[in-house]
Amino acid sequence: MAGTSLLALIDDIASMLDDISAMTKVTAGKTAGLLGDDLALNANQLTGVRAERELPVVWAVAKGSLINKCILLPLAFLISAFIPWLIQPLLMLGGAYLCYEGAEKIWHWLSHRSKKGEPEAVENTPRPKLTMSAEELLIFEKDKIKGAIRTDFILSAEIIVIALGTVQEMSLMGAVVVVSLIAFLMTAGVYSVVAGIVKLDDLGLYLIQKTEADDSVSDYVGRGILNLCPWLMKTLSIVGTLAMFLVGGGILMHGLHPVAHFFEHWFDAHQVAAWLTTVGMMLVSLIFGWVLGTVLVWIMGLFQPSAKH
């Protein structure tokens, strides 16, 4: 009797592990799209840090991301169990924040660009320091870390909510294991890749210094990496900003079901190919997020005290 019960328990455990493995693969597939956005956003947030401080800063943000998961996971399970209607409003609030942050980046870029052509503005504006003091560098790093952790919090919340929706049919224990696995595996994956990106220039320099011959393969590769790094960081900066609109706009559009349904119905009515419909919906989400973010920046500007001249 005891032997039969033990075998039944082992069979139940094996079955649950199979379900967890299968659902982890399915959930990973559904949240994989956010991985690229998370990567671009975080790499963009961490640009501009001193070379010797890059890995410590990435590690600090990764630790902050783990703390985010430790806060979000229990909250997500409690909310889904007792007040599931609250998940969507919270998610939409996070989406609105992403759109606002992306629009604010564009507004700052445009305002600084326009001032370059104004002689008075240039004369009256103090020139930026070429070097920072130790205290200024510390403040700069802390701001970078805080910004990256805030962005990570919103993206982590979205990943967890999407994962929760995928495992609704599983038992509570199975759902907890799958969602937790997805959350922590994505954290490890994203910040490992971010660490690799920010140290690419060091790799290029190492390859150049590895040999004294200027025409060696490693010298060519090293110089190629060093030439690629500025373009890669610039691209990640652009992609990161677009990702804010894409993710934020997508969250808000799917939260506002009539809006999403209108565009989906329009693509269906015109018999657009499935892949083109997907691209079209992404473009609509991006534009929707940009417009909403711009409106939010304008509204927030109304409540900010005007600068004193």
How does pLDDT run across 47-106, given as a tens digit for each residue?
Answer: 666 667 778 888 888 899 899 999 988 988 888 778 878 877 877 887 888 889 889 888
Query: First CA to last CA across the chain, in angstroms?
Result: 87
pLDDT tens figures, 223-275: 888 888 878 877 877 877 887 788 788 888 878 888 888 888 888 888 788 88
pLDDT digits (tens, 9 = 90+) for 11-62: 444 454 555 555 555 555 544 545 555 666 666 666 666 667 778 888 888 8
Report the C-alpha gap between 274 and 271 in whole angstroms: 9
Average pLDDT over residues 161-181: 75
Residue 296's contacts (CB-CB under 8 Å, 6 or more residues apart) are: 96, 99, 100, 103
Shortest CA distance to 46 belongs to which of 152, 157, 180, 170?
Answer: 152
DSSP H helices, 83-132, are: 87-115, 119-124
Placement of tokens 């806060």 in the chain: 71
Across 139-167, b (16+ Cβ under 10 Å) vs e yields eebeebbebbbebbbbbbbbbbbbbbebb
- Name the percent of the chain in helix, strand, coil, to the closest 5: 85, 0, 15
CA distance 150 to 68: 9
Q: pTM to 2 decimals?
A: 0.66
